[in-house]
Amino acid sequence: MSEQVIWTMLINGAITGGLAGWWKGRSRLIWFLLGALTFGFALLVLVFLSKNKEEMDKRAVASGKAKICIGCKEAIKPDAVVCKHCGTNTIALQREQME
Ligand SMILES: [Zn+2]
């Protein structure tokens, strides 16, 4: 294999590894490095890994696509009245806290 082919595989592995890691809510840097070291084969591992739920929730809240339930601390839709996880009425509780 020529040196150019190896470099191309290394860079492709690093970029796809980093992107896939980010998509799964995991560290971009670690998966960037793993992708480079394994020429992209780290992707196969990522496919079988579940998404990092805590990180995905954090991102959703930061982007306004979710809010955290005051009853169970799970991420729910921003306009949800009743939590889908624990059944807490989020509007009523918010009103009580304001009074
Ligand atoms: Zn809840």
Distance 30 CA to ligand 1 centre (A): 32
**23 and 3 assigned to the same domain:** yes
Indicate whether 73 pLDDT > 70.
yes
**29 and 74 assigned to the same domain:** no
**68 and 81 assigned to the same domain:** yes
User: Domain range holding 84?
Assistant: 52-99
**10 and 41 assigned to the same domain:** yes
68: amino acid identity, one letter: I
Distance 50 CA to ligand 1 centre (A): 22
- Residue 29's contacts (CB-CB under 8 Å, 6 or more residues apart) are 18
For range 50-60, the mean pLDDT: 90
> Which 8-state DSSP code applies to residue 89?
B
Which residue is associated with the tokens 């939590």? 83
User: Which tens digit of pLDDT belongs to each residue from 23-38?
Assistant: 889 988 999 999 988 8
How sure is the predictor about 97, in pLDDT bands with cuts at 50, 70 and 90?
A: low
The SS3 call for residue 86 is coil
d(CA 35, CA 40): 5
Distance 20 CA to ligand 1 centre (A): 30
d(CA 2, CA 37): 17
Q: In the listed set 51, 71, 90, which residue is the last one of a domain according to the structure?
A: 51
Domain count, the chain: 2
Distance 82 CA to ligand 1 centre (A): 8
**24 and 40 assigned to the same domain:** yes
d(CA 19, CA 34): 12
Distance 5 CA to ligand 1 centre (A): 52
